[in-house]
A and B are shown apart, each in its own frame.
Chain A
Amino acid sequence: MSITARIERLRQNYIRSKPSICHERARIFTESHKRSEGRPLPVRRAQALYDFCSEFDGPIFDDELIVGATGKFRKSGILTPEFSWMWVDREMDFFDKRPQDPYEMTDEQRAFVRGEIFPYWKGRSLEEAFLARLPRESLSIAVDSGVVDNDSKWRQAVGEITPDYQDVLFPKGLAGVKGEAEAHLAALSPARAEDLDKIVFYESVIIACEAVIVLARKYARKARALAAVEKDAARAKELLAISEVCRRVPAEPPRSFHEAVQFVWFIQLGGILSENPLALNLGRFDQYMHPYYMADRKKGLLSEEQAQELVEALWLKLSEWVWTISANTADFFAGYNQFQNLTVGGRTRDGFDAANDLSYLCLRATDSVRTHQPGLSVRIHSDCPQEFLDAVCDLVGQGTGFPAIHNDQAGTQMLLQAGYEPEDARDWSNCGCVVPHFRKTGEWTSAVNVNFGAALEYALNEGKSRLTGELMGRPCRPVSEYASYEEVEKAFLDQLANLVRHSVISTLTAQKLHARLAPRPFLSACVDGCLEKGLDLSVGGAHYNVGPVLTGIGLAVAANSLAAVRKLVFDDGAASLEELNKALNDDWEGHDRLRRMALAAPKYGNDDKYVDDIAVAVSNFYYRAARGYKDIFGSPFNSAFMGISNYIPAGRVVGATPCGRKAGRPLSEGVSPFAGSDTVSPLATMRSSAKVNHDVHTGGTLLNLRLSPELTATKRGKRNLGNMLRAYFSLGAFHVQFNTVSTETLRRAQADPEMYRDMLVRVAGYSTQFVNLSPEMQEAIIERTVHAAM
């Protein structure tokens, strides 16, 4: 229950109103681009943002404390045709009918965008350029195949940025950043060839900063105007206060907690309107907000309740805007999730405990409003206060799937591995779901999803897809010619290496195009390094540039399948590879006995060396394969086993697998076991997953466990949970997240979604409303093994 009646009204609205497409942003951007033909692209993008900010009459909704909207509706999704319009054109007639993440859109809107917006972008969008440039050999495997999937990097903006409040935004304000850009500009000369690109860059930053300042001032005027006609004196006073706040920030540094919260939302808004980003993170919110909180508290200007009300208002703002994405992307990132991660707890840059009053307040706010955003993450270190761990376990016990729990030291180790300075490595926060990240960084943290199940299939099926018969992988020998288990494993790794290669090709193609077609003037103003270097984020402006992350999907399926092949065929001689392959072609129909043996073979997630060793070997191979390539800035690619909802669409394109899995069923997520196959105990599951060398997979690792709610119902149970976490992290593992909603509750929610609209579940790396998931996705959640205490 929200902290105040006002927040509860906002919350009810968030729960009940449907996401709608608002095409205002697309309209104004398009008109602006028509006017700016011929000017440098970064300036045109910045100018379009400026035009939107000054033209759009942004609404202030009833009861709002934190203001600023992406469109006309409470839940507005925007269109960004400069990245891609073709998928919108193809899919928008069914936006309201698609199973995952539907949107409302009127026929009138559709006619307008088809008539006025899309024709301009034809031939100009990133998507078209990508499809035209992607080397032919990668086309069938890297475009909407479910095998090598990176469409969020060429149908969308990159996102994946954590604005720097600590060192850039709060100390300087956007006016200060703009001033710095102007100073740099003054020192440059159009007579020096090497200055020309920098001149364009600084000009674009100046316009972008002005744009968001103008946006805020418009809201200041709007609030004042509303106050003048407001009948309720208390609300009128409040609107005047809002007006004052918006006059001040984000142009100037904030002076109060309220100003700081509104500042953060304006920065989010600037980023959203610029590019409809995935994973525009809030970073270490409890750290950079704490001075403002303490100052106001000491001065007696802010009660704890008022602070929490402002934070809950921000949580609702973060949840209301809609990340507009294609049906394919929605399958991979299900649940209207914008992946705005917010991290609390952990250690300071000097290595001391960092938990403060705001860390606890954030946990309480998420418990109270139950919004799917922000993606609340915590860092737990070995000396973290017991009361903080208790508060974390309390929230776990609420069954929201929040927070995502991370091992502080493992995160630091991952960043050291990636080449960060020690203080920066200690100062990490999450990007998106479970990627340890530092705010002065340009990194494609979810560049590609790589389907391990497909690699396995190609190894056993002469390089062909079992479902379509199409040659997708490298052509290879028929199974009858494999004489040993080692040959099978090698064939799999060859196919996996090939998928990594296509992932790299696809990413490099996209990176090159982003550098030319997708300048990011506003976000470049928010990240340290860009102004100093005079370079946009898209061309490596950030202080750190870390290589793109390739996320492996289906590690458990690959390991379980290789183990089954080894056991059934080479150890026990229970079946030949040909027989096994025939069973897979028949999707196990008529091969019950063989399938039973396959299901009985060792499964990852039970602390069984036989299969866990394979998982470790495969994951190590994958790490080396990724690190063998460099991106356009010369940074090596990185590996990860994080989950999004990607294991479901990835499973759809993979036929039956030797582990006993049927065709089309989901694969496995992150370093989690295959759903339902971790039958020993959660301790065994944790021991298995900790065997993977988490520290080298700098793109993050994910373990998702479902616990019976009885386990966390008592204080004792929660204490045990906390201690279990400490034990798991002592093994070097990076992340775990718990779902504690019972199967019965999930079934009831399926039957009666109206009654369970607010129920959050952990999908993978993030939480979202269960009722907003497609039926298929809901079944996948239910299938995960429930670990009851025995």
Chain B
Amino acid sequence: MSAPSTPPCSRSRETRETGAVLQMQSFSVNDGEGIRTVIFLPGCPLRCRWCANPEAWTASPKLAVSHAKCIGCGACEAACPASLFPPRLESPAASGCSVCGACVKVCPAGALKILIQEMSVAEAARRVERDALFFRYSGGGVTFSGGEPTAQAGFLRALAREFDSRGFDMALETCGFFVWDEVEDVLALMSHVFYDLKHMDAAVHRELTGAPNELILENCRRLSRLGIPITVRIPVIKAVNDTKENLEAVCRFMTENLPGASIELLPYHDFGREKYRAVGLANQRHDGYVRPEAHEMEAAEDLFRRRGTTVVRYR
């Protein structure tokens, strides 16, 4: 699957009162200060080859199958209006699955689940409000993540305005591939942005993610000019983007363009493996990416430290 070379453009600065939510995760402590609730908004313009969240590529509801739990009883097939047998579907969407949920209700093993639901801003606020007490005591708040949160710019705007009026601290994680004018006002409400820089070489970036990086870098410069604290994140993959050359390029970019920004290096992980099978995208998975060793991560962090860049770990 390939991604477009420019992000999808929607009507500028609209608001949408409902949107697609993959998950709201309470008690998150690795994506910003304090105890946070992370809202995962599905839909992503990139297709990074190592992606760990294939279920969040698009914002449409998906049927997920836990192959470990499936006992092969066939109850789902009997209940399905289209007589499909979800565990065997290579690609549920292509097979005519309408994600009606009939199979989920009857599965005795609890092996089926619908991912991504349509949610209103009011409902999201109601849920976040339950955790708000813990934000106040810990200095935490809400973190928007994805997919790519800016991919649902209108919904993100409505959520951010609502949370801003409620006094919640907000942070955002982004891949940076968005139309600046569409989200500038939303970004301005954030107290912290985590910004992914996957590779500094435009051609390599396009090969790895399906999109070029010029816009990403330009958006990052603009963000810095807004004065919002930035933490650059690199999903560090052995022999892909952990070369001295690439890390130094990131470092240079930060020194020249992002005064005061910090960096967090996140080692690649393989936890997404099962998810590809679960949502019928096994054939889209690229294998062979390797997690750097702990000492290699340390060395990479040292490289940044030596050049005067603040290294952080939200762990």
Are B315 and A730 neighbours in the complex by a CB distance under 8 Å? no
A714 surroundings in chain B (CB, below 8 A): 313, 315
**Residue in B27, B28, B109, B315 with the greatest tally of chain A CB atoms within 10 Å:** B27
Are B26 and A790 neighbours in the complex by a CB distance under 8 Å? yes
Q: Is B130 an interface residue (CB 8 A)?
A: yes
Q: How far is the CA of A731 from the CA of B130 in the complex (A)?
A: 12
A176 surroundings in chain B (CB, below 8 A): none
B137 surroundings in chain A (CB, below 8 A): 723-724, 726-727, 730
Q: Which residue in B28, B108, B133 is a CB contact (below 8 Å) of A596?
A: B108
> A652: shortest Cβ distance to chain B, in Å?
27
> B223: shortest Cβ distance to chain A, in Å?
25
Q: How far is the CA of A719 from the CA of B25 in the complex (A)?
A: 20
Are A592 and B26 neighbours in the complex by a CB distance under 8 Å? no
Are A789 and B133 neighbours in the complex by a CB distance under 8 Å? no
Q: How far is the CA of A720 from the CA of B33 in the complex (A)?
A: 9
Contacts A596-B108, A730-B137 given; does A684 touch B34 at CB 8 Å: no
Q: Is B222 an interface residue (CB 8 A)?
A: no
A600 surroundings in chain B (CB, below 8 A): 110
Q: Is B253 an interface residue (CB 8 A)?
A: no
> A590: shortest Cβ distance to chain B, in Å?
12
Are B134 and A683 neighbours in the complex by a CB distance under 8 Å? yes
Q: How far is the CA of A683 from the CA of B27 in the complex (A)?
A: 7
Q: Which residue in A684, A711, A730, A787 is a CB contact (below 8 Å) of B130?
A: A684
Are B130 and A790 neighbours in the complex by a CB distance under 8 Å? no
Contacts A720-B34, A790-B38 given; does A684 touch B26 at CB 8 Å: yes
A731 surroundings in chain B (CB, below 8 A): 133
Are B27 and A681 neighbours in the complex by a CB distance under 8 Å? yes
Q: How far is the CA of A720 from the CA of B135 in the complex (A)?
A: 10
Q: Is A149 an interface residue (CB 8 A)?
A: no
Q: Which residue in B28, B109, B313 is a CB contact (below 8 Å) of A790?
A: B28
B6 surroundings in chain A (CB, below 8 A): none
Q: Is A687 an interface residue (CB 8 A)?
A: yes
Q: Which residue in A593, A607, A711, A723 is a CB contact (below 8 Å) of B138?
A: A723
Q: Name the residue on B nearest A726 (C-beta).
A: B137
A726 surroundings in chain B (CB, below 8 A): 137
A607 surroundings in chain B (CB, below 8 A): 130
Q: In residues 108-150 of chain B, which contact A (Cβ within 8 Å)?
A: 108-110, 130-131, 133-134, 136-140
Q: Is B5 an interface residue (CB 8 A)?
A: no
Q: Is B35 an interface residue (CB 8 A)?
A: yes
> A30: shortest Cβ distance to chain B, in Å?
58
Q: Is B30 an interface residue (CB 8 A)?
A: yes
Q: In residues 663-722 of chain A, which contact B (Cβ within 8 Å)?
A: 680-684, 687, 710-711, 713-714, 716-717, 719-720
Q: Is B102 an interface residue (CB 8 A)?
A: no
Contacts A720-B34, A723-B138 given; does A592 touch B108 at CB 8 Å: yes
Contacts A714-B315, A731-B133 given; does A723 touch B30 at CB 8 Å: no
Are A723 and B27 neighbours in the complex by a CB distance under 8 Å? no
Q: In residues 266-315 of chain B, which contact A (Cβ within 8 Å)?
A: 313-315
Interface residues on A, range: 20 to 34
Q: In residues 14-68 of chain B, which contact A (Cβ within 8 Å)?
A: 25-30, 34-35, 38
Are B131 and A683 neighbours in the complex by a CB distance under 8 Å? yes
A790 surroundings in chain B (CB, below 8 A): 25-28, 38
Q: How far is the CA of A593 from the CA of B78 in the complex (A)?
A: 15
A713 surroundings in chain B (CB, below 8 A): 315
> A329: shortest Cβ distance to chain B, in Å?
38
B29 surroundings in chain A (CB, below 8 A): 711, 716-717, 720, 789
A724 surroundings in chain B (CB, below 8 A): 27, 35, 134, 137-138
Are A720 and B108 neighbours in the complex by a CB distance under 8 Å? no
> A690: shortest Cβ distance to chain B, in Å?
10
Contacts A726-B137, A727-B137, A730-B133 given; does A720 touch B25 at CB 8 Å: no
B35 surroundings in chain A (CB, below 8 A): 683, 720, 723-724
Q: How far is the CA of A727 from the CA of B34 in the complex (A)?
A: 12
> A673: shortest Cβ distance to chain B, in Å?
15
> A443: shortest Cβ distance to chain B, in Å?
33
Q: How far is the CA of A681 from the CA of B26 in the complex (A)?
A: 6
B138 surroundings in chain A (CB, below 8 A): 719-720, 723-724, 727
Contacts A593-B108, A607-B130, A720-B138 given; does A680 touch B30 at CB 8 Å: no
Are B133 and A727 neighbours in the complex by a CB distance under 8 Å? yes
Are B130 and A687 neighbours in the complex by a CB distance under 8 Å? yes
> B104: shortest Cβ distance to chain A, in Å?
11
B27 surroundings in chain A (CB, below 8 A): 681-683, 724, 787, 789-790
Q: How far is the CA of A596 from the CA of B108 in the complex (A)?
A: 6
Q: How far is the CA of A785 from the CA of B314 in the complex (A)?
A: 24
Are A680 and B108 neighbours in the complex by a CB distance under 8 Å? no
Are B134 and A789 neighbours in the complex by a CB distance under 8 Å? no
B30 surroundings in chain A (CB, below 8 A): 789
Q: How far is the CA of A731 from the CA of B136 in the complex (A)?
A: 13
A710 surroundings in chain B (CB, below 8 A): 315
Q: Which residue in A717, A719, A730, A789 is a CB contact (below 8 Å) of B28?
A: A789
Q: In residues 83-108 of chain B, which contact A (Cβ within 8 Å)?
A: 108
Are B110 and A727 neighbours in the complex by a CB distance under 8 Å? no
Contacts A683-B27, A730-B133, A787-B27 given; does A723 touch B139 at CB 8 Å: yes
Q: How far is the CA of A790 from the CA of B313 in the complex (A)?
A: 15
B130 surroundings in chain A (CB, below 8 A): 607, 683-684, 687
**Residue in B108, B110, B133, B136 with the greatest tally of chain A CB atoms within 10 Å:** B133
> B102: shortest Cβ distance to chain A, in Å?
15
Are A596 and B131 neighbours in the complex by a CB distance under 8 Å? no
Q: Name the residue on A nearest B73 (C-beta).
A: A592
> B171: shortest Cβ distance to chain A, in Å?
15
Q: How far is the CA of A787 from the CA of B76 in the complex (A)?
A: 32
> B280: shortest Cβ distance to chain A, in Å?
24
Are B315 and A596 neighbours in the complex by a CB distance under 8 Å? no
Q: How far is the CA of A683 from the CA of B313 in the complex (A)?
A: 23
B28 surroundings in chain A (CB, below 8 A): 789-790
> A385: shortest Cβ distance to chain B, in Å?
16
A727 surroundings in chain B (CB, below 8 A): 133-134, 136-138
Q: How far is the CA of A328 from the CA of B76 in the complex (A)?
A: 48
Interface residues as binary, A718-746 with B (CB distance below 8 Å gives 1, 0 otherwise): 01100110110011000000000000000
> A648: shortest Cβ distance to chain B, in Å?
27
Q: Name the residue on B nearest A686 (C-beta).
A: B134
> B38: shortest Cβ distance to chain A, in Å?
7
> A589: shortest Cβ distance to chain B, in Å?
14
> A457: shortest Cβ distance to chain B, in Å?
25
Contacts A684-B26, A730-B137 given; does A723 touch B34 at CB 8 Å: yes
> B124: shortest Cβ distance to chain A, in Å?
16
Q: How far is the CA of A720 from the CA of B138 in the complex (A)?
A: 6
B315 surroundings in chain A (CB, below 8 A): 710, 713-714, 716-717
> B269: shortest Cβ distance to chain A, in Å?
14
> B311: shortest Cβ distance to chain A, in Å?
14
**Residue in B25, B26, B134, B314 with the greatest tally of chain A CB atoms within 10 Å:** B134
> B211: shortest Cβ distance to chain A, in Å?
28
> B272: shortest Cβ distance to chain A, in Å?
16
Q: Name the residue on B nearest A717 (C-beta).
A: B29
Q: How far is the CA of A522 from the CA of B19 in the complex (A)?
A: 71
Q: Name the residue on A nearest B30 (C-beta).
A: A789
> B19: shortest Cβ distance to chain A, in Å?
21
> B93: shortest Cβ distance to chain A, in Å?
26
Q: How far is the CA of A713 from the CA of B30 in the complex (A)?
A: 13
Q: How far is the CA of A186 from the CA of B138 in the complex (A)?
A: 63
Q: Please provide the 7 A-B residue pairs with the shortest distance between their CB atoms, ordered closest to farther.
A: A723-B138, A681-B26, A727-B137, A681-B27, A723-B137, A790-B25, A789-B29
- 17 pairs, A vs B, C-beta closer than 8 Å: A683-B35, A683-B130, A710-B315, A716-B29, A717-B29, A717-B315, A720-B29, A720-B140, A723-B137, A724-B27, A726-B137, A727-B136, A727-B138, A730-B137, A789-B29, A790-B25, A790-B26
Known: A596-B109, A714-B313, A727-B134. 16 other contacts (CB 8 A): A596-B108, A683-B27, A717-B315, A719-B138, A720-B29, A720-B138, A723-B34, A723-B134, A723-B139, A724-B27, A724-B138, A727-B133, A730-B137, A789-B29, A789-B30, A790-B38
